[in-house]
């Protein structure tokens, strides 16, 4: 079926090109990848579709389907009670053809090497799509920081950093905050790396405190970018923010700020969730009041003027216009996508939608703004922070936010134009543009003999 973009609809109902089969390609870590499910399989399937559109060969697919470099380390930790525990950490550099690796560090009990590989690949595409001169990287330590004291988290951070020092640095790989980490963790990483070099190296991490070379506007950059793209997509669909009801899954680093910016733009935020549950108010939630409540209570549950939903995931299926999944990957999949009513889905999280769900959304005419576009605000302002640190000259918040808006809007229009011209989904358009950019750089450099 043909879609008329001029009528404000998206090309979601068109068939994807035939993919290169996602086979059990050998990986540098020696592990057999999960070829059926999981974030790495989803990332490789998206790459495969882009390779087919670009008419590239299997060799290019194999190069881009596997990380350039990865390191797995043991992290011995002395607990506050004297016990010793050994944690496992990873750092993966997917591709560095366009510049140093760039990507977050997450602390979570669910961290796996394949997850980190997938996230690093998505970072490669994200940086290329928004024209940031980085490659993709990602890191993770498998533990729940909420179950550890702040001093124990510091010891984990410093030992992990010391173990991966050979492969990080301001011209090699630049970590940033992600799930379970924050600006203090980045400060500890920067200090540990600097101590090993004998001088202060502000550019080794981004997302740092302002006192240590952080950038104004960095803590809210991802959220603001999500809001910019969501509002642009609403305009494309000819919908007014004040006539839009939204649900936000996840009220952490990304979801909280995105909900606030949308609320400030007039969007009616009717539901939000966190790891403990979800709340709903058909008339709309006061997001600033909710932020103040969460700062005290630690959860959205029990907020005045709202009802607690019995099932946290029920938020995904509400009768809303806009859904922002801003928690973790894989929450929208083949088993639940048909229950999602939102006509616009803007991915605040990395990889929240599986390929099976994408097909369902396309068939149902629902517009999905992909993660590598929607949540790219964080890496854009991380780049700004890195530039400022290298120049030892810091910009105003207005400068940062204006430059962020310009980059996000430029990327949005570029992806939208490609999707309309080639009659493909926004995700495929974004991935094709990014893969083409990276492949051109990779092949221009040539293969080292």
Active site residues: 138
- How far, in Å, CA of 351 to CA of 116, rounded? 12
Angle of helix 377-391 versus helix 221-236 axis, rounded to 10? 140
């Amino acid at each position: 079926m043909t879609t008329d973009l001029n009528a404000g609809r998206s090309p979601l109902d068109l068939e994807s090109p035939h993919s290169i089969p996602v086979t059990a390609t050998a990986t540098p870590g020696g592990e057999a990848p999960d070829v059926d499910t999981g974030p790495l399989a989803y990332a490789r399937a998206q790459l495969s579709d882009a390779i087919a559109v670009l008419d590239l060969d299997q060799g290019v697919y194999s190069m881009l389907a596997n990380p350039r470099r990865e390191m797995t380390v043991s992290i011995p930790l002395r607990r506050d009670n004297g016990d010793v525990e050994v944690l496992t950490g990873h750092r993966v550099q997917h591709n560095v053809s366009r510049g140093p690796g760039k990507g977050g560090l997450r602390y979570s009990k669910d961290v796996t090497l394949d997850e980190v590989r997938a996230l690093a690949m998505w970072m490669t595409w994200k940086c290329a799509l928004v024209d940031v001169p980085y490659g993709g990287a990602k890191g993770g330590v498998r533990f729940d920081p909420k179950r550890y004291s702040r001093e124990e988290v510091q010891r984990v951070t410093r030992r992990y950093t010391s173990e991966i020092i050979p492969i990080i640095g301001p011209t090699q790989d630049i970590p940033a905050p992600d799930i379970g980490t924050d600006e203090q963790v980045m400060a500890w990483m920067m200090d540990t790396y600097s101590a090993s070099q004998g001088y202060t190296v502000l550019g080794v991490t981004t997302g740092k405190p302002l006192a240590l070379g952080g950038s104004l506007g960095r803590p809210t950059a991802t959220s603001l970018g999500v809001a910019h793209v969501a509002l642009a997509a609403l305009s494309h669909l000819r919908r007014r923010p004040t006539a839009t009801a939204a649900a936000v899954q996840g009220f952490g680093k990304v979801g909280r700020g995105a909900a606030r910016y949308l609320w400030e733009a007039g969007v009616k935020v009717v539901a939000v969730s966190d790891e403990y549950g979800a709340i709903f108010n058909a008339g709309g939630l006061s997001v600033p009041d909710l932020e103040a409540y969460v700062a005290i209570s630690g959860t959205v549950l029990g907020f005045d003027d709202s009802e607690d939903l019995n099932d946290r995931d029920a938020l995904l299926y509400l009768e809303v216009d806009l859904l922002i999944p801003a928690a973790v990957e894989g929450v929208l999949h083949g088993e639940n996508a048909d229950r999602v009513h939102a006509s616009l889905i803007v991915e605040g999280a990395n990889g929240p939608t599986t390929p099976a769900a994408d097909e369902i959304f396309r068939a149902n005419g629902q517009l999905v703004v992909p993660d590598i576009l929607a949540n790219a605000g964080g890496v854009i302002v991380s780049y700004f922070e890195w530039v400022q640190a290298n120049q030892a000259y810091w910009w105003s918040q207005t400068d940062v936010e204006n430059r962020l808006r310009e980059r996000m809007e430029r990327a949005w229009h570029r992806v939208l134009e490609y999707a309309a011209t080639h009659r493909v989904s926004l995700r495929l358009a974004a991935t094709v543009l990014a893969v083409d950019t990276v492949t051109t750089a990779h092949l221009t450099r040539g293969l080292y003999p």
